[in-house]
Amino acid sequence: MSRNDWQEAIKLPIGHLPCGSGNAFITNIVRYSKQPIMKTMEKFIVQAAVIIATHNVLPFDMALLDICDGQRLFSFLCIEWGVVADVDCDSEQYRFLGETRFTVEALKHIIKPRSYEGYIDYIPYDAVDDTADSNQITTDTTIAQLHRHLLPLNEPIPTDSTSTKWRRINGPFLHVLITSKACISKDVIASFRST
């Protein structure tokens, strides 16, 4: 998304084989294609390869996040802040343990928890409101359309519920998880969507 030719680049389908510790991205692809997730890694890799070989292209949402230091980030999976993000990053030293690395690091954070000051501004989802739909990015989306609903970072977000849709949640936080995907790993379903 940071490329000058991002409108062309997002047209390129990307095949994904599981080879990490959590394998959340491919797990969500498999779930979205309405297939059961294979239990063994060998079968899971074959399942992903079949999706690639059959050219089963699935559209995937992306999130855009502006953070206070001026960075604009894009996410295809989730945005985490707090203990789970700490466990994910701090467990890199135990990568040789596979998925067990998360358990080892989680125990360390349970014994000595951290909390984080901050706040989250958001617009609640409403099925009868077109705010969420109007932010969808397609190959025809222009940069101006992409930025249309974003406020400048130096402009405070209005959170008065009588005059705006924006809401604020104040910390401290132990953990924040913002996701549009069901799974944050092969074994963890973080959200459900009713249909």
pLDDT tens digits for range 9-50: 888 888 888 877 678 888 888 887 888 888 888 888 888 888
Determine the Cα–Cα distance for residues 121 and 150; give it in Å rounded to an integer: 12
Q: Is 69 domain-assigned?
A: no
Query: Residues 120, 68: contact at Cβ < 8 Å?
Result: no
Q: Is 8 domain-assigned?
A: no
Q: Is 37 domain-assigned?
A: yes
The range of the structural domain enclosing residue 38 comes to 16-62+180-194
Q: Is 43 domain-assigned?
A: yes
Of 30-39, 59-68, 125-134, 141-150, where does the model show the most confidence?
Answer: 30-39
DSSP secondary structure letter of residue 161: T
Q: Is 151 domain-assigned?
A: no
Give the global pTM.
0.59
Task: Give the per-residue pLDDT at 154.
Answer: 66
Q: Is 112 domain-assigned?
A: no
Determine the Cα–Cα distance for residues 135 and 122; give it in Å rounded to an integer: 14
Name the pLDDT band for 132 (thresholds 50, 70, 90). Answer: very low
Tally of structural domains, the chain: 1
Which three-class secondary structure state does DSSP give residue 164? coil
Residue 101, classified by CB atoms within 10 Å of its CB into exposed (0-12), middle (13-18) or buried (19+), is buried
Name the pLDDT band for 195 (thresholds 50, 70, 90). Answer: very low
Residue 6, classified by CB atoms within 10 Å of its CB into exposed (0-12), middle (13-18) or buried (19+), is middle
DSSP secondary structure letter of residue 188: E
Query: Residues 17, 53: contact at Cβ < 8 Å?
Result: no
Angle formed by the axes of helices 24-32 and 41-53, to 10°? Answer: 60
52 versus 2: which is more confidently predicted? 52
Q: Is 135 domain-assigned?
A: no
Determine the Cα–Cα distance for residues 160 and 163; give it in Å rounded to an integer: 6
Q: Is 148 domain-assigned?
A: no
Bridge partners (DSSP) of residue 65 are 73
| DSSP codes joined into one string, 88-157 | HHHGGGGGGGTTHHHHHHHHHHHHS---B--EEEE----TT-STTGGG---TT--HHHHHTTPPPTTSPP
